[in-house]
Amino acid sequence: MKVLLIYPEYPDTFWSFKYALKFVFKKASNPPLGLLTVAAMLPADFEKRVVDMNVEKLKDKDISWADYVFISAMAIQRDSVKEVIAKCKEYGTKIVAGGPLFTSAHEEFPDVDHLILNEAELTLPEFLNDLEHGTPKHIYSSSSWADMKETPAPIWKLSKMRKYASMSIQYSRGCPFNCDFCDITLLYGRVPRTKDTSQVMLELQNIYDKGWRSGVFFVDDNFIGNKRKLKTEVLPAIAEWMKQHKNPFSFITQASVELADDEELMRLMVKSGFDTVFVGIETPSEAGLLECKKHQNKNRDLVATVKKMQNFGLQVQAGFIVGFDSDPSSIFERQIKFIQQSGIATAMVGLLSAFKGTKLYQRLEKEGRLLREMSGDNTDFSINFIPKMNKETLINGYKKIIGTIYSPKHYYARVTNFLREYRPPRQIRKLSFKIRFIHTAAFIKAIIKLGIIGRERFQYWKLMIWSLFKKPRLIPTATMLAIYGFHFRKNFEKYIKDQTVAQQG
């Protein structure tokens, strides 16, 4: 059996890092971890190939080679998914599809031959058994949750690792919180499920053995869902492994904001090599937090919370939302003020969107306010429901936020604010010659593109000179964040241009 596993293309978005990746000669941020894991669940005698359309073109000969095409995707990849399906139908190649997009909206894809919904550990074996006996069904689903101790390690040899900026590991699934706009608990439940420590260590070793010496993303939606296991088992093991291997990786993950309440956990994470964490701030408005059931963020000084994590050596990236029913007209200035004061350089501000099946979606549907399914990108100026605030006011306020926080003046001031608070440990990483070359090339390219010909050159040199005298050890971090800022500005300028063209058309 010949199986082609296809990961459809992402559009250019905030998280695509398209403009930043060019500085480091990479094609995409992360590999398709889900498909590489699914590949490990397929029988050993299957011939397997992976095509990630974000790093290489899908060729007709790839599809004609395969007996089955496996597709996994998220909502934001919907357009590319439809193109892949159409191409497979041209060649008469059978299609097997799964992942978040299909689990949430499988009825949109009638041309898919076999739908493997929910978690593949539960539904894929049943499909494979039926396929072996010549009786495969159209849909496979499950209401149970998978035991992650049974999840195999990804097959990294199927991935073109050199084309990515970071590798990926999944340690847990599920989140104990149930924010009404979020679909994580729908997909993975509220009780965090984890892999054994031995599995995590095996996956780290596999990535290391493939020659990787750079960033690794723990893709968990809430890495700290099971704090006890992290503190007693997983993080101590990672810290010891990192020490033995001379700190070859740096780690980034996602966590809920109460991470700042656990100093022991933060120390262990930083000791283990974690230097960045994404948290959902959403809004500085208590009414907004109450509305969206973000109880873990309520009744706390969120700016102080962010700075505490920065002081412990964690760069905080964060998501913000405007468009709540309770949002007053002052919310746009409040968001700008909070973002600037917190020193969160990577601040993803989006318009509220209703994912299918969430509590928000159900409420808006009941109120007759839903307009369409969401695009999957909450930063593209689209909104899939009728907001309480005047829509033009909301869109213009949103434009004001992003136009302000990613202007060179405000962005570089925020980076400097962050660097004042950031206190990373002195860990010596084992960098290969190739990685050192890429870092040097990115630094030189940043000088030319940002410091010489860029409209931000005054702010760029002001940051570099400040870093040189105040925080010389953090010049690589300052350079990286300057490159990020370039991407964010270019990305949102493109969105605004596209929206203007659409309005004129």
Strand order of the β-sheet with 68-72 is 47-52, 2-7, 68-72, 94-98, 114-116, 139-140
pLDDT digits (tens, 9 = 90+) for 159-173: 999 999 999 999 999
Lowest pLDDT segment from 161-165, 293-297, 375-379, 417-421 = 375-379
Alpha carbon distance 425, 275 (integer Å): 9
Show which of 85, 117, 140 is a domain's final residue: 140
Which 3 state secondary structure label does DSSP give 366? helix
Chain centroid to Cα 258, Å, comes to: 20
pLDDT digits (tens, 9 = 90+) for 72-124: 999 999 999 999 999 999 999 999 999 999 999 999 999 999 999 999 999 99
Instruction: State the CATH number of the domain containing residue 131.
Output: 3.40.50.280
Burial of 418 (0-12, 13-18, 19+ CB in 10 A): buried
Alpha carbon distance 31, 5 (integer Å): 13
Which pLDDT belongs to residue 371? Answer: 92
**Higher local confidence (pLDDT), 80 or 379:** 80
> Domain range for residue 471?
433-504
Which 3 state secondary structure label does DSSP give 417? helix
Specify whether the CB–CB gap between 330 and 285 falls below 8 A.
Answer: no
Which residues, 6 or more positions from 197, have their beta carbon under 8 angstroms from its beta carbon?
233, 234, 237
Q: What is the mean pLDDT of the chain?
A: 94
Strand order of the β-sheet with 166-169 is 166-169, 215-218, 250-254, 274-282, 315-322, 347-351
Give the count of domains, the chain.
Answer: 2
504, pLDDT greater than 80: no
> pLDDT-based confidence at 428, cuts 50/70/90?
low
Which residues, 6 or more positions from 118, have their beta carbon under 8 angstroms from its beta carbon?
103, 141, 142, 143
| 366 occurs within a structural domain | no
Show which of 99, 121, 140 is a domain's final residue: 140
| 257 occurs within a structural domain | no
Which residues, 6 or more positions from 99, have their beta carbon under 8 angstroms from its beta carbon?
34, 71, 72, 73, 74
Which residues, 6 or more positions from 306, have their beta carbon under 8 angstroms from its beta carbon?
260, 279, 281, 316, 318, 342, 343, 344
- Amino acid at position 155, single letter: I
| 47 occurs within a structural domain | yes
Task: Give the CB-side neighbour count of residue 117, counting CA atoms within 13 A.
Answer: 21
| 241 occurs within a structural domain | no
- Amino acid at position 171, single letter: Y
Alpha carbon distance 438, 26 (integer Å): 10
Show which of 140, 170, 187 is a domain's final residue: 140
Q: Which two tokens stand for residue 389?
A: 């605030």
Cα first-last separation, the chain: 49
| 259 occurs within a structural domain | no
Q: How far are the Cα atoms of 120, 242, 279, 285 from residue 213, in angstroms, in the given order?
A: 30, 11, 25, 41
Question: Mean pLDDT over residues 59-63, rounded?
Answer: 97
| 31 occurs within a structural domain | yes
Which pLDDT belongs to residue 386? Answer: 96
| 474 occurs within a structural domain | yes
Which pLDDT belongs to residue 367? Answer: 97
Alpha carbon distance 34, 90 (integer Å): 26
Alpha carbon distance 483, 317 (integer Å): 15
| 10 occurs within a structural domain | yes
